[in-house]
Amino acid sequence: MTVGTAKAWREGLDAGDLSSEALVRGSFLRIRTMDDRLHAILAVDEDRSLRLARKADARLRAGERSPVLGLPVVLKDNLHWSGLQVSCGSRIMDGYRAPYDATVVDRLLTAGAVPVAKANLDEFAMGSSGEFSAFTPACNPWDLARVPGGSSSGSVVAVSAGYAPLALGSDTGGSVRLPASFCNVTALRPTYGVLSRHGLTAMASSLDQVGPIAASAADIAMAFGVLAGRDPMDSTSVDLPGVERLNPLQPLKLKGLRIGLPTEYFGDGLEPGVRSVLQAAVQVFAEQGADIREVSLPHTRYAIDTYYLLCTSEVSSNLSRFDGVRYGHRARSGSLTDMIAETRDLGLGPEVKRRILLGAFCLSKGYYDAFYLKALRARTLITRDFDRAFESVDILATPVSPGTAFPFGAKSDDPLAMYLADAFTVPAPLAGIPCLSMPAGFTEGLPVGIQLIGPAFSDVMLLETAHTFQSLTPHHLETPPLFRTGANHGL
């Protein structure tokens, strides 16, 4: 079984050296061979995927060309793909099947991509580790005893393990970027609105964004150009400037690029190994003539509190629809009130319940002003910090996480410690600006990511910058231990 990049497979398909059907069959072979250990996949429909692959091959033979035509894609299981389950990693969604395609899924299908699987996730996308799936949690391909990161755990693991060259996740406060850092892949959280949220199960509507995942920025660009743009089904959606620069993605000249290093992101909480990797990564930019500057984002210290107050408030509202009345699991109780209470008690996991309760408290009478409205004001201050920073720099470079992937169970009993893993990923979503995680190196054999953050609608520039870095470094080409003959990492 060979692992290919989207770019390499694109070239093979266009030249007639590869077929979509062969690639899709290879995806299913890898899933059958590896997923009993990685647990990245929740559902497949092999017959349907193979039919789509044959149609893609027919389009290729007819001379049609598209960046994603014939390529296998994995979808996070909170995205709707008509006819397949949408579990959201939760027991309460038992039996629910999507009645329509999410806009991003529809755009992939129209362009000829072939979805091959629905991927595991933290329940309702609530989690930073991947441990909060109601099913067997996904494992990190670099060390099965460690978490892959969350909440888009299965989507990231699927790319890292070579199930498919592309995947879609969702990112509310870091849910594609944190696992990308832990598993040595590249992931983009776009400017809010650039990718439609229609058909993405809502967690926190003012923060949720679909996020593409791949081995490299160049691979992400292939899908991003197909996915981006205004959607009449999502009133918050917007067009993406510079979309014509995505295919093919070109390197960005780094000479004179002003890169800011926020002092608040490089404090005492950063593990020494991570700090060393990031310093080496920043040096790569400096050697190419980039202007490295220190900047300050003074309200960063309020970001975690602000994020979790706003996010949980929206969660408590969005998840009220899952009550057993309309779809999914329904408990067998007498009265309507008892049925709803029992359904939610049995169907929802502890992390989801924790966030619903916290959000309901924040929105309750007597506490709304003290918590929710104050968090909205803090969000404005955090956004202004970014605006001021981008007056003097073009992009920011930061850690993705204070540390590398941690062992299963290390933070499960300490919600605060788990939430602090998001310290570097939640500020940008509060401001609605684009950010990406890409491989920066390794410490003690575990991957470390670097985060690039840009002003609103600088998505293409971020990808170009990442592409330049990846043309100068080999980190994104490294494969997990399970690909290495004789390696013993619990595999």
For the annotated catalytic residues, the residue numbers are 76, 151, 175
| DSSP H or E segment with residue 448 | strand 446-453
> Can the peptide bond before residue 333 be classed as cis, meaning omega within 30 degrees of 0?
no
Going by their DSSP bridges, the two strands 186-189 and 166-171 should be labelled as unpaired
- CB within 8 Å of 37: residues ≥ 6 apart: 139, 144, 482, 490, 491
Total Cβ atoms within 10 A of residue 485: 4
- CB within 8 Å of 471: residues ≥ 6 apart: 251
Partners of 397 in beta bridges: 452
The C-alpha angle with vertex 185 and arms to 182 and 187, in degrees rounded to 5, equals 100
Measured CA to CA, the distance from residue 307 to residue 314 in angstroms comes to 11
- CB within 8 Å of 321: residues ≥ 6 apart: none
Residue type, 218: A
Q: Tell me the backbone φ, ψ of residue 160, rounded to 5 degrees.
A: -60, -35
Structure tokens at 335: 């009265």
- CB within 8 Å of 397: residues ≥ 6 apart: 259, 260, 261, 278, 281, 282, 285, 450, 451, 452, 453
Residue in 23, 115, 16 with CA at minimum distance from that of residue 65: 16
- Residue 284 and residue 473 in contact, taking contact as beta carbons nearer than 8 Å: yes
Do you know the residue count of the chain? 491
Strands (E), 17-99: 41-43, 72-76
Q: Which residues of 441-457 are buried (b: 16+ CB within 10 A; e: fewer)?
A: bbbeebbbbbbbbbbbb
Measured CA to CA, the distance from residue 116 to residue 53 in angstroms comes to 10
Residue type, 304: I
